[in-house]
Amino acid sequence: DKESSFTIEINDKTEIVYIPSLDQHCGFLQECLEKAKKRLIICSPFISGYRQYEEDLALDELNAATARGVDIYFIVGKKSK
């Protein structure tokens, strides 16, 4: 079902989560930023260097996570023409 999120556990410290909508994405991203301890890798079609996502990215949580020493990586696509 393309409308439902799901999780694939890789091991006890790594999981992949599929989030199909922007609304679900924003809440989940905030939760991940709050809980991350070491590293967070975000691959998302909702984040782009071509758009401003200050509201969606939860900048306070992003800053707090980096202040805790969490390494955060974004994997994003390029702008389509």
Q: For the whole prediction, is pTM greater than 0.75?
A: no
User: CB under 8 Å to 6, separation ≥6 — which residues?
Assistant: 17, 18
For 31: left if phi > 0, alpha if psi spans -120 to 50, otherwise beta; the answer is: alpha
Quote the CA–CA distance of 62 and 31 in Å, as a whole number. 11
Of 31, 7, 37, 11, give the one whose Cα is nearest residue 19: 7
pLDDT in single tens digits along all 81 residues of the chain? 557 777 888 888 788 888 877 777 777 888 888 889 999 988 776 666 555 555 556 678 889 999 999 999 988 766 655
Of 70, 25, 68, 61, give the one whose Cα is nearest residue 46: 25
